[in-house]
Structure 1
């Protein structure tokens, strides 16, 4: 009864000479939620968290709670809900549910009317005692939703106020006008994804007192078990190869996207954060307001989405790691958002097959799809490309984007189960659909530098470049093949990867993208940093966002130590931050003024190219020269595939770009030698890449077809055998002229040939 007593208050209302007795219940206060999920992601749109019956087509278990009514009597039952497909005039009502009082159902079924959140009248119930059991009973398993319940013996209709905790609700909940004060923090981090975790842990280990506020029950954001986007982007490389070591401590181990619940390690993330004495973690807390004194944030306001208790968090510095730039927006920070062609939101899904046939109900309210309308979910997975919302409002209509995604998934599975060819999937059943969306793009806060796409492509060197971005410029667009039925709101995307990012070494993002231009104590990290739409394509992946957080955390420590703001770190104290960025991720101190200690279990420094993930050249016969030891001219871009390469990765250059790569070797002894090159094959690589072998008395050009697999182990191709003398200089030069695709350089090998 503890939660119920905190949230359920009986009130008396007078209407002339008639006394009305009433009871207000926030749905999130149910003591036993059964199979209903607490959905907090649309609070800013509709004013409250709500319970969602996300049963994948099977009714979920009842949510129940005991309450004390003001008196026995005849109560009219209201629920704040909606028919979630009505906005599209879709046939049917998938979100149907009942409210039962002492096992008697209200006469009318809920979730059957209205295209927006409102108080639906369910009719009256006679209650003979003051102690009652309230039940939410799902009837479909298809995402019925309930925000709150209101029982009254009068005829008043609850107000449809969608403000966050308006006065009416606050009064009925008996909440104090003054919030609970949480102060004394050096850094208040809002958002518990990779960037927020990186900022909180990094700052805490450098002696800052940190509040980490997350509106979900788990950490990780898009990289949690709720969304299941596997973490991408290389870490631990470039000028500061120590950056990323904190991220390595909690990054997921998923082998595909979406991965399994276990692969995302929600408990590991939470335990790591809670193990830091300098961090106070506030899960299930939604930040809804910001106190600002002209250009300075003095506090953020949040409420507990389980109890509605208000809290006020005060600190010297703040970091917006919300993804949507929410704190910056509320504080009046400068921001921008792409007008058209924004990347959308994904809701991935998975299915499996059993030993027996499984029925799936018809879904006339879902998108009307046949098998040719969507890519077949190979490996039982609906992957990242189940994405919509490209030209929809990603902030004020996120629920609509998520619900459209759900309609697409349910329609696709209906096609698999109930349309032509359904016998192939007779044993198939849904195992998981993400009801928490995975957004990619919304507000972009403005810093002292707005990183441009051209900056990345031309490798513009900023003096404060620090976070290596190794993901290509990856922008998503609707895939035309699947956009014909729903051209105004397509739901399958295609990723268009631009060139220009060194995917092995990384392009160093400037620190000046990580703090606000006009709010002097506001940092930002994650996908809301100061970049253009195109540059966001390379910076937005989670490990890269996490490294931004690590830099913000260390910069916060410098700010506290020097009594300055984020901009001052760049202007006056860059050497101090530079020193901290070179420390191991596990380095720590008790306060920003304490001495730093480095634990014995700290990671070994990775070096500028990261950890070698390929074959060790020293393990191979003869002399092997890696591409990183070669001399390049022109635009070569590093790649680091998962397997098959030598050392750190390989480099590529476009056909006819004029780029060259020259390997120089010293012949160890006189004799017959075979010269080999290593490359990774791909269909868009060059089919006639020119390779010159030059030595005293040797001048030979070979045109290599890099669309076909190299014949030797470790992807080596023989270029010929040559009689060479000790100390001869051997040159292997790979060009791009008329290559017919990308020229690839990975390694050159010189092997003595046994002539006996």
Structure 2
């Protein structure tokens, strides 16, 4: 039996609490989010991993919200000291905007809460007399500016506050609640999905519709993540799959109020699935793994009631965005920007750093028809205008972004609060103008929209080159068309800018959707295995929905065959089955040996006339393409003269970028041999852009091989981008894509790629190169795996029995020598009989040496 190890995000340290109780204290605790009547306060679940709990937020946009009320049960009557866990969210200003009062049994406590410390702390509320076993508690907001309350503790017999935070506070809370380490019930599923954004919803639907029993854990009351009514980001990117189309909101723009109806429709779709259990709002807070690193279960807690469940499964999918599930299970990850040299990315910084794209709060206002004061209660707004400056915006879109130089996970509350201060400051400035007297907030979120944080590492990390060049992936499971859209800060702290590199449609690989070190963990969304630069293209929500579809169907294959995600890639038949299940067209396998001449290659390209370089339209090779400016017709041409290695038959491909302003009659001339007439062709550059278009197969002489793109008699822009020559005699078969003698299935199994292994390389340093390892059936990445021939000692006189490890589809021969200087064939054509072959040979009584050779 394997040892089980439980990894808690919030540790349980009962020993600390036992020592604390030894002083004789009697304690009662009420979590603010569990109040029966929440009034106008909202539950904020975003920062549990940082500060320990969901909390109540008086998010009134400058108008005090209705009171919260609830009942606390105490162990016995008596005098209790009241402790309120809260914080002053703008500690740098004396006019604390998050101020509120607390009443106990109708008696208002003296302190003003939310005014003491910038860190979460237990603020002393003084003592109260409780005559029975219950106390009625009311929270009264004073400002409408995001006062916050996490919990209220009544303690009798001690004046010491509860622990301030961290594992000690978690242990104290658990002990006060009498909560054992393990949840009271365990539920078993085939697949557990954590995170209910577009990616998580699609993953859950794909898996459940494939017959799996699925649980979806989502920490908010509405499905959709960034697309939900709480954040309202428009869904962008290719839809491609019907499941994505079923739940996306492509027709809606940013900040659209119709997201409320879209959330309801999305929830209806999820709840209609009989195989799907939707836990919403629940939060996964702990992960159990075994000694192989496999996830055994996830523990989840209801955001408001605190009810707990343990969910066991064979496959888990992380759609949390921040990669919380993988991080808690020990998955390898990256966060921040790789340096340019890491993957050869031109969009990367020279030196790696921790910078990420930031978080956003988009907001809007509307005309109420009558003057409305802001703020509703007089309070100094210096704490807000300090951030806003003199700007007086009345709404903000995606570029209201902050936190790029902070940690978007650990500093998430600070980032959100900075954006709130910017919003309130701008709106306050705007309200000083008479023309804005009637304006009120129309949409004012408190849940931040995130773009980037942890990226869990898979067997493949997608990079800029993959995206820009549309690299072929044999395990393609979805498409992306969004440009490489990377954000950067501006001089205004809460506003960002962006730069985008256009790209043609590219396919992302399945190997980027499962963890390389947690065997049964897959991921979908912005936490997949990509570089910072590549994330700029695949982070939009419909693309992440495609990822969800892929991993949902992959989970079904894992159950069907009793395998883990990596084995789907390793087995070409399983990979094809996954692609068939997803449906749609997949890219053709590339032709090997192509020699590319790009427009920027001065050694083989000659430019005649004034051409302009551009990267405006996607789908080009290299860094740019050339266009003729739709001028100088008949005076411009580009000559591509690649250095062919030999004379022979080559298929020629031409590449361009398409647009409606392109020429439909671009002349292309091929010079093949010195004694052959030129080949004259015409191509339509308004279509088939961003791909290699075959011009045909021809016999070429290296001395004369040339392709000329001209603009004679054309109507529209002529594009000259790149030419490719493919030696038709070197076309690889479907079983050996790179033509190196190593079958694709073998490279996939051992090297997790069809093209990364070199046949002549000794990867494991055992004295046998990869090709010999393939022939002998040994493991090329394990130096202990060797091809050894053994002599069985119980052979009959005049005979010897040889044995050696064998692999399927191999043939062996036995050779013999008298002195090891020269070997001659003894027996050939011996078929493999895995896992071991045995052969009897005759001996002469003289010294003889036998060896086995894999053919």
1:132: Cα distance to partner? Answer: 2.9
Relative to structure 1, is the Cα distance of residues 372 and 363 closer, same or farther in structure 2, using a 3 angstrom cutoff? closer
| 1:360-399 correspondence to structure 2 within 5 Å | 360-361=374-375, 362-368=380-386, 373=391, 376-377=393-394, 381-399=395-413
Say whether the 8 Å CA contact 2:101–2:108 is kept in structure 1: yes
Q: Which residue of 2 aligns with 1:303?
A: 301
Q: Which residue of 2 aligns with 1:190?
A: 194
Relative to structure 1, is the Cα distance of residues 369 and 297 closer, same or farther in structure 2, using a 3 angstrom cutoff? closer
Say whether the 8 Å CA contact 2:78–2:156 is kept in structure 1: yes
Q: Does 1:285 align with 2:282?
A: yes
> Which runs of no fewer than 5 residues in structure 1 stay unpaired?
1-11, 237-243, 484-489, 586-604, 609-633, 640-650, 663-678, 705-729, 739-756
Relative to structure 1, is the Cα distance of residues 408 and 18 closer, same or farther in structure 2, using a 3 angstrom cutoff? closer
1:234: Cα distance to partner? Answer: 1.4
Q: Which residue of 1 aligns with 2:430?
A: 416
> Which runs of no fewer than 5 residues in structure 2 stay unpaired?
1-16, 337-352, 588-612, 631-657, 669-680, 687-712, 722-855
Say whether the 8 Å CA contact 1:13–1:19 is kept in structure 2: no
Q: Which residue of 1 aligns with 2:81?
A: 76
Per-residue CA distance 1:304-343 (angstroms, 9 max, x = gap): 2222223221110111111011111111111111134310
Per-residue CA distance 1:622-669 (angstroms, 9 max, x = gap): xxxxxxxxxxxx999878xxxxxxxxxxx899998236999xxxxxxx
Give secondary structure in 2 for the equivalent of 1:163: helix
Give secondary structure in 2 for the equivalent of 1:547: helix
Computed over aligned residues only, the root mean square deviation of the Cα atoms, in angstroms, reads 3.5
Give secondary structure in 1 for the equivalent of 2:56: strand
Match of 1:258 among 255, 260, 277: 255
TM-score normalised to structure 2 length: 0.64
1:180: Cα distance to partner? Answer: 3.0
Relative to structure 1, is the Cα distance of residues 561 and 53 closer, same or farther in structure 2, using a 3 angstrom cutoff? same
Per-residue CA distance 1:12-49 (angstroms, 9 max, x = gap): 99999997554211111100111111111100001111
Relative to structure 1, is the Cα distance of residues 693 and 213 closer, same or farther in structure 2, using a 3 angstrom cutoff? closer
TM-score normalised to structure 1 length: 0.72
Say whether the 8 Å CA contact 1:357–1:427 is kept in structure 2: yes
Give secondary structure in 2 for the equivalent of 1:303: strand
Per-residue CA distance 1:75-122 (angstroms, 9 max, x = gap): 322100000111xx2342011111111221111110001111110002
Give secondary structure in 1 for the equivalent of 2:190: strand
1:232: Cα distance to partner? Answer: 0.6
Say whether the 8 Å CA contact 1:388–1:405 is kept in structure 2: yes
Q: Which residue of 1 aligns with 2:98?
A: 95
Say whether the 8 Å CA contact 1:194–1:545 is kept in structure 2: yes
| 1:316-355 correspondence to structure 2 within 5 Å | 316-338=314-336, 339-355=353-369
1:399: Cα distance to partner? Answer: 0.8
**Aligned residue pairs: how many?**
592
Q: Which residue of 1 aligns with 2:69?
A: 64
Relative to structure 1, is the Cα distance of residues 320 and 637 closer, same or farther in structure 2, using a 3 angstrom cutoff? farther
Say whether the 8 Å CA contact 1:200–1:212 is kept in structure 2: yes
Relative to structure 1, is the Cα distance of residues 635 and 460 closer, same or farther in structure 2, using a 3 angstrom cutoff? farther
Give secondary structure in 1 for the equivalent of 2:193: strand
Q: Which residue of 2 aligns with 1:535?
A: 534
Relative to structure 1, is the Cα distance of residues 21 and 446 closer, same or farther in structure 2, using a 3 angstrom cutoff? closer
Relative to structure 1, is the Cα distance of residues 444 and 262 closer, same or farther in structure 2, using a 3 angstrom cutoff? closer
Say whether the 8 Å CA contact 1:369–1:415 is kept in structure 2: no
For 1:513 and 1:653, the matched residues in 2 are separated by 24
Give secondary structure in 2 for the equivalent of 1:509: strand
Rg comparison, structure with higher value: 2
Match of 2:266 among 269, 273, 276: 269
For 2:480 and 2:264, the matched residues in 1 are separated by 28
Match of 1:249 among 246, 250, 253: 246
Q: Does 1:85 align with 2:104?
A: no
Greater mean deviation of Cα atoms: 528-537 or 20-29? 20-29
Give secondary structure in 2 for the equivalent of 1:265: helix
Deviating runs (4+, > 4 A) in structure 1? 12-21, 261-264, 369-372, 605-608, 634-639, 651-656, 659-662, 689-695, 730-733
Give secondary structure in 1 for the equivalent of 2:545: helix
Give secondary structure in 2 for the equivalent of 1:123: strand
Give secondary structure in 2 for the equivalent of 1:269: helix
For 2:267 and 2:315, the matched residues in 1 are separated by 23
Relative to structure 1, is the Cα distance of residues 405 and 48 closer, same or farther in structure 2, using a 3 angstrom cutoff? same
Say whether the 8 Å CA contact 1:224–1:264 is kept in structure 2: no
For 1:286 and 1:636, the matched residues in 2 are separated by 44
Q: Does 1:172 align with 2:176?
A: yes
Q: Does 1:428 align with 2:439?
A: yes
Q: Which residue of 1 aligns with 2:45?
A: 40
